[in-house]
Amino acid sequence: MTGSTVRFGTGATREVGFDFADRGVKRVLVVVDPHVRDAYPGQTATESLRTAGVDFEVFDEVRCEPTDTSFQKAIEAATAGGFDGYLAVGGGSTIDTAKAANLYATWPAPFREYVNPTLGRGTTPPGPLKPLIAVPTTAGTGSETTAVAVFDFEEEGVKTGIANRYLRPTLGILDPENTRTTPPAVAASAGLDVLSHALESYTARHFLRREKPENPSLRTAYQGANPISDVWAIESLRIVAQFLPRVFADADDDEARGMMLLGASYAGMGFGNAGVHLPHAMAYPVAGLVRDYRPPGFLTDHAMVPHGTSVIVHTPAVCRWTAPSAPRKHLLAAEALGAEIRGVPEEKAGELLAERVRHFMTLTEQPSGIGDFGYSAADIPKLVEGTLVQARLLKLAPHDVDAEILANLFADSLS
Ligand SMILES: NC(=O)c1ccc[n+]([C@@H]2O[C@H](COP(=O)([O-])OP(=O)(O)OC[C@H]3O[C@@H](n4cnc5c(N)ncnc54)[C@H](O)[C@@H]3O)[C@@H](O)[C@H]2O)c1
Ligand SMILES: [Fe+2]
């Protein structure tokens, strides 16, 4: 279990300048989401750098749902600037962009070198990166606590990631003021991402059922469900159940915004060690192959499926399929999401949990399935193909997976 360092509190963003100065950092690349650059998050963070006498440059060409091309732009800015620290202010898209910029500027390599197999070589860089402080403005991906950066690999038509232990941010700053302006549609998608992170890591293949690596350097960040990540996951589910409906209804609910930021980080600490499995693996081709879906409530200029939405549409079908692997845990997860489980037989665990997930999807006005993004049964073979390349995630499903199982799960997720 690798720990993550976070600081929580209203106004905590004002301390980032101190944090860089304290680490002896002189010159910072601020990677900031264009929609928060001139609002509280961006303004407060840069003001804090100024006050602490830390030199910085701002990069705001972050793409919502980043691609290899958009990562490359940030890598170029990072490589040209001679930075000895990085500050990310934004949602998962921004934090992941800053992670990639830091990685390739610190240890230059051809792009595929660090990309996860099977699409890349999955090499671990030779040593640590420069300090990265992550200030999330969504609640959220938990990227401030995890050792992974996700992007859409355009030529492959699929999302994938870069994962190695050096990518984990040095510090995450959880400031509830930073999510006050998060649009409700973004809060919904991001909040359901939290729900699925927690659920997937809680129901992942048990770590004792995973193979021991040939040598310790080959041990992956994602280790399967384990007693420590379970603590974070189950508490995160309780938080989402209580506070996601409240932030969706009222962005000025200070307590709910703070709790959802914590819930996102809790889930990140859990899944950052245990891993996620099929809902994420299936979401990657669904997001990568999207044709013309434009999500309501998002201020983006390109077709895309928001990450949390692309994940959650698969979660009900997947939990019905995973339930027989650990029925008791599926019941406990349903209970954490607000279900009454007394007297419910174990055979009903999957259905009960799926029903709870659907409850939160309906409440946050989500699409009902991948059919809403324009996919039909005819697209399933291509989606299966794009899922089978996510080797790292498929290994974490509690049962073995093949093309036929995936095709059935996609069919179940059409609506
Ligand atoms: N690295 C990880 O561990 C990890 C985990 C899960 C997801 N992800 C990735 O993170 C990305 C999704 O991140 P996200 O869900 O945080 O959303 P996001 O970063 O893509 O932001 C979504 C939209 O909300 C806007 N926005 C964000 N914060 C705002 C605020 N405070 N006020 C106003 N507008 C705001 C952005 O400009 C953008 O248009 C995906 O690419 C996903 O694959 C990474
Ligand atoms: Fe996610």
Ligand 1 closest atom vs CA 268: 3
Whether residue 348 lies inside any domain: the answer is yes
| CATH at 69 | 3.40.50.1970
The Cα–Cα gap between 378 and 400 comes to 24
Phi then psi for residue 284, to 5 deg, are -65, -45
Whether residue 139 lies inside any domain: the answer is yes
Q: Do 253 and 147 fall within a single domain?
A: no
Beta-bridge partner residues of 134:
88, 172
Q: Kindly list the protein residues whose Cβ atom lies closer than 6 A to any atom of ligand 1.
A: 33, 35-36, 64-66, 90-94, 96, 137-138, 140-143, 146, 148-150, 178-179, 181-183, 186, 189-190, 193, 298-300, 307-308
- The tens digit of pLDDT for each residue in 23-58 reads 999 999 999 999 999 999 999 999 999 999 999 999
Q: Is the peptide bond before 322 cis (omega within 30 degrees of 0)?
A: no
Ligand 1 closest atom vs CA 159: 43
Beta-bridge partner residues of 171:
133
Distance 62 CA to ligand 1 centre (A): 10
Instruction: Pick the ligand that lies closest to the CA of residue 146.
Output: 1
H runs (alpha helix) in 275-365: 278-288, 307-312, 315-322, 327-336, 349-363
- The tens digit of pLDDT for each residue in 289-333 reads 999 999 999 988 899 999 999 999 999 999 999 999 999 999 999
Q: For residue 145, what is the enclosing H or E element?
A: none
Best substitution site from 60, 174, 186, 299 to test ligand 1's pocket, by max atoms within 8 Å of Cβ? 186
- The tens digit of pLDDT for each residue in 361-380 reads 999 999 999 999 999 999 99
Q: For residue 238, what is the enclosing H or E element?
A: helix 227-249
Distance 266 CA to ligand 2 centre (A): 13
Best substitution site from 37, 64, 152, 175 to test ligand 1's pocket, by max atoms within 8 Å of Cβ? 64
| CATH at 321 | 1.20.1090.10
Distance 94 CA to ligand 1 centre (A): 7
Distance 307 CA to ligand 2 centre (A): 6
Whether residue 273 lies inside any domain: the answer is yes
Q: Do 351 and 276 fall within a single domain?
A: yes
Task: Specify the number of domains making up the chain.
Answer: 2
Burial class (CB in 10 A: 0-12, 13-18, 19+), 213: exposed
| Contact call for residues 337 and 360 (beta carbons, < 8 A) | yes
Distance 273 CA to ligand 2 centre (A): 14
Q: Do 232 and 136 fall within a single domain?
A: no
Q: Is the pLDDT of residue 158 over 90?
A: no
Q: Which tokens is 367 given?
A: 């699409």
Domain end marker among 150, 179, 208: 179
Q: Do 90 and 231 fall within a single domain?
A: no
- The tens digit of pLDDT for each residue in 258-286 reads 999 999 999 999 999 999 999 999 999 99
| Contact call for residues 291 and 280 (beta carbons, < 8 A) | no
| Contact call for residues 282 and 314 (beta carbons, < 8 A) | yes
Tokens 């976070």 -> residue: 6
Nearest to 8 by CA among 231, 257, 270: 257
Burial per residue of 78-114, b for 16 or more beta-carbon CB atoms within 10 angstroms, e otherwise: beebebbbbbbbbbbbbbbbbbbbbbbbbbeeeeebb
Best substitution site from 43, 116, 144, 150 to test ligand 1's pocket, by max atoms within 8 Å of Cβ? 150
Whether residue 301 lies inside any domain: the answer is yes
Whether residue 218 lies inside any domain: the answer is yes
Beta-bridge partner residues of 162:
115, 149
Task: State mean pLDDT over 162-173.
Answer: 95
Q: What's the whole-number average pLDDT of the chain?
A: 96
| Contact call for residues 127 and 80 (beta carbons, < 8 A) | no
Distance 212 CA to ligand 1 centre (A): 34
The Cα–Cα gap between 359 and 391 comes to 31
Instruction: Pick the ligand that lies closest to the CA of residue 279.
Output: 2
The Cα–Cα gap between 390 and 278 comes to 9
Burial per residue of 54-66, b for 16 or more beta-carbon CB atoms within 10 angstroms, e otherwise: bebebbbebbbbb
Q: Do 320 and 377 fall within a single domain?
A: yes
Whether residue 48 lies inside any domain: the answer is yes
Distance 202 CA to ligand 2 centre (A): 14
Range of the domain at 192: 184-412
| Residue 212, pLDDT score | 87
Q: Beta 27-32 vs 85-90: how paired, if at all? A: parallel
- The tens digit of pLDDT for each residue in 60-117 reads 999 999 999 999 999 999 999 999 999 999 999 999 999 999 999 999 999 999 999 8
Would you say how long the chain is, in residues? 415
Among protein residues, the one with the nearest Cα to ligand 1's atom 13 is 92
